[in-house]
Amino acid sequence: MSFFDDDDFDEPTYVAHEGESRRASSRRPGLGGLTGGGAPPDAQTARVRQIVALGAIVFILILLTVAVNSCVKSGRKSALQDYSRDVTAVLQESRSEVADPLFDVLSSGEEANALQSRLSSIREVASDEADRVQGFSPPGDDRGKAAQHDLELAMNLRAEALRVIAQEISRALADASTSQEALDAIAGQMQALLASDVILLSRTKPLIDEALRDADVSGAEVQAPRVLTDFSWLDADGLGAKLGSGGGGGGSSSSGEVRDRSGETPSSPGLHGTSITGVTMGGTQLSAGASTAVPGRKVEVQVNNGGESDESQIEVGATFAISGGQSVSTKRVIATLAQGQTATVPLTLPAAVRSGVEGELTITVGGVPGESNMDNNKQTFQVTVGG
């Protein structure tokens, strides 16, 4: 029997089986081939797939960035508009609820206690406005912070000005020994009101408006009305002449010389002329040539139209020359005065005419067109102002 015919020797068969098994194993797909068989992609294909995937990720990130930026810009614009509206609202309120009432009260001619009470109410409004602006949230960059800082400064100046004016008004209307210091203090606070206007118009408004323009927002610019428009309040002497020069009826009050229109051509023929028929001060009837003690600054003048036609725009004035001091004046206009009728014109002398002051009161009625006799258009009285 040949060695190779031995039935028990099967090693070659075993070796062949093992080789075949190994080749089969090398072709069997691993876990990553569950989606299908086949050879893995070559290096170039894999690199293309990676680039495509990376590009998709970058594109998605760009879209997200654009969307986020759009939301941020939209939110910033909305915040700027809201802030501008809030600033405009408080500044308009400061004009209508603080400044206008302030000067109306100071020109009302009321007594010191009444003035102080009304001024204290206005001061509370100004203080509330100053507190309110501190809660504003300025959006944007450093311009917003600067605008907010200047806004708070301006509103604090106004609140403090109202506090001092309300505090000093009684002394300003008292006797001459204490009034000048108080008038100086009030005039100083009028300067503070002017400064608040300057700050708002030169700093707060331009900064906010610039931020709005940069954000492409239109129609939302800050409105900042001035609170001080009559600069005569800035001077202590002018303040003393204006303080308490108001009153009611008979047209608006002002100061200066009475206008004489007697040289103008009348609109109708016949006799034209007016006259003073009576003057009271503090409720006391005044008599020419006699010194009269009076209790206050309120003057009433009776003016009669003795002509043959109705007259209009008749100026009536009172000038008080303080002994050893200045002269102050106030006047009103009678809009119309019918033929033969008498009008009572109320006047309140400025605050310089106070308790203890002596002086000469001159009442003048301006001539009407065609008036030839002016003898009854002026009267002078010596008075002493009491408490």
The one-letter amino acid at 383: V
pLDDT in tens, 46-90: 777 778 777 778 777 776 666 555 555 555 788 888 899 999 999
* pLDDT of 34: 43
Neighbours of 285 (CB within 10 A): 11
Instruction: Tell me the C-alpha distance between 229 and 102, whole Å.
Output: 13
Residues of the chain with pLDDT under 50: 1-6, 9, 11-21, 23-26, 28-36, 245-252
pLDDT in tens, 333-367: 898 899 999 999 988 887 778 778 899 999 999 99
Instruction: Tell me the C-alpha distance between 339 and 332, whole Å.
Output: 20
* pLDDT of 108: 75
Which DSSP letter does residue 339 get? T
Strand partners, 328: 320
- Which residues lie closer than 8 Å to 322 by C-beta, 6 or more apart? 328, 352, 353, 357, 358, 359
Instruction: Tell me the C-alpha distance between 374 and 273, whole Å.
Output: 8
* SS3 readout for 161-212: HHHHHHHHHHHHCCCHHHHHHHHHHHHHHHHHHHHHHHHHHHHHHHHHHHHH
* pLDDT of 9: 46
The DSSP result for 211-273, as a single string, is HHHHTT--S-PPP---S---GGGGSHHHHHHHTT---SSSS--B-SPPPP-TTSPPSS-S---
Closest CA to 254 of 232, 275, 235, 234: 232
What pTM was computed for the model? Answer: 0.54
Closest CA to 186 of 228, 236, 229, 124: 236
Instruction: Tell me the C-alpha distance between 105 and 107, whole Å.
Output: 5
* pLDDT of 241: 64
Instruction: Tell me the C-alpha distance between 279 and 335, whole Å.
Output: 20
* pLDDT of 246: 43
* pLDDT of 249: 34
- Which residues lie closer than 8 Å to 205 by C-beta, 6 or more apart? 221, 222, 224
Q: Specify the DSSP element, H or E, that contains 80.
A: helix 43-94
Q: Specify the DSSP element, H or E, that contains 358.
A: strand 358-365
